[in-house]
């Protein structure tokens, strides 16, 4: 019997698959990173714990927001957003380092949020300041779900960082068009300063229309 030759995959087909996979992972990382940072910043402004400070005149209600408990999640959310943008401004090892920073920001947010979920020290400090008694403490303490919401946002940032580490080499970088055109230069086309469309075309080619 004659063996049937296996169909060979063309290089163009492989490139198309890589390009498509790169675009999907890029869109996913952007969405996850932006959504995660937004969730963390929102959760940090919400009440994480509340209770009653006992005073001579009665009980005073005290509330501690996420930023009162710990400023780490909000700070790392901003770092994560900056890293997400910086991924497109660097290449090779620089992109790997920035992607790692993005992932670590998400992991740090998760750890800080979980540690702050049961923290009552801020409420005790508020009780002491309110009553004037350094030994005063909060009674009937309750905790909200917002620390865990912040933790979920950190998980999204972590996932975005892992996607950048895995697929970031396929993503485009800022200025890539001009770097690819660094070889032999083509003849500069004449630009009519009175025609806005010519100015935009010149800028799109990487030329200075004022020269």
Q: Render pLDDT for 1-28 as a digit per residue (tens, 0 to 9).
A: 455 555 555 555 555 555 555 678 888 9
Cα 13 from chain centroid?
A: 32
Q: pLDDT tens for residues 32-73?
A: 999 999 999 999 999 999 988 776 666 778 889 999 999 999
Q: Where are the domains of the chain?
A: 17-174, 181-211
Asked if residue 104 lies in contact with residue 80, where contact means CB atoms within 8 angstroms, the answer is no
Which residues have a Cβ under 8 Å from the Cβ of 135 and sit 6 or more positions away?
Answer: 128
Q: What is the pTM of this model?
A: 0.70
Question: In the structure, what pLDDT confidence band is assigned to residue 140 with cuts at 50, 70 and 90?
Answer: confident
pLDDT of residue 61: 81
CATH numeric code, 17-174 = 1.20.140
Question: In the structure, what pLDDT confidence band is assigned to residue 172 with cuts at 50, 70 and 90?
Answer: confident
Q: What is the pLDDT averaged over residues 187-210? A: 58
Q: Which residues pair with 50 in a beta bridge?
A: 63, 142
Rounded CA-CA distance 182/114 in Å is 50
Percent of the chain predicted with pLDDT > 90: 42
Rounded CA-CA distance 92/16 in Å is 21
- Which of 203 and 111 is assigned the larger pLDDT? 111
pLDDT of residue 21: 55
Percent of the chain predicted with pLDDT > 70: 66
Q: Determine which of 31-45, 88-102, 155-169, 189-203 has the lowest per-residue pLDDT on average.
A: 189-203
Rounded CA-CA distance 141/52 in Å is 7
DSSP 118: T
Question: In the structure, what pLDDT confidence band is assigned to residue 183 with cuts at 50, 70 and 90?
Answer: very low
Coil, helix or strand for 59?
strand
HSE value, Cβ hemisphere, 13 Å, CA-based, for 86: 17
- Which of 165 and 209 is assigned the larger pLDDT? 165
Rounded CA-CA distance 15/101 in Å is 29
- Integer angstrom CA distances of residue 6 from 3, 9, 14: 9, 9, 16
């Amino acid at each position: 019997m004659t063996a049937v030759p296996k169909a060979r995959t063309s290089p163009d087909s492989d490139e198309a698959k890589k390009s498509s996979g790169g675009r999907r992972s890029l869109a996913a990382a952007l969405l996850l990173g932006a959504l995660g940072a937004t969730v963390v910043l929102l959760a940090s402004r919400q009440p994480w714990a509340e209770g009653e400070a006992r005073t001579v005149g009665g009980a005073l209600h005290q509330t501690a927001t996420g930023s009162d408990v710990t400023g780490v999640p909000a700070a790392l959310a901003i770092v994560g957003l900056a890293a997400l943008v910086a991924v497109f401004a660097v290449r090779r090892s620089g992109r790997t380092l920035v992607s790692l920073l993005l992932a670590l920001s998400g992991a740090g947010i998760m750890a800080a949020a979980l540690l702050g979920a049961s923290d009552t020290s801020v409420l005790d400090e508020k009780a002491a300041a309110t009553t004037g008694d350094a030994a005063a403490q909060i009674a009937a303490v309750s905790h909200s779900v917002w620390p865990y919401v912040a933790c979920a946002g950190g998980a999204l940032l972590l996932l975005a960082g892992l996607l950048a580490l895995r697929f970031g080499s396929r993503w485009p970088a800022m200025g890539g068009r001009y770097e690819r055109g660094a070889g032999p230069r083509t003849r500069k086309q004449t630009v009519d300063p009175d025609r806005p469309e010519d100015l935009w075309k010149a800028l799109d080619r990487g030329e200075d229309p004022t020269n």
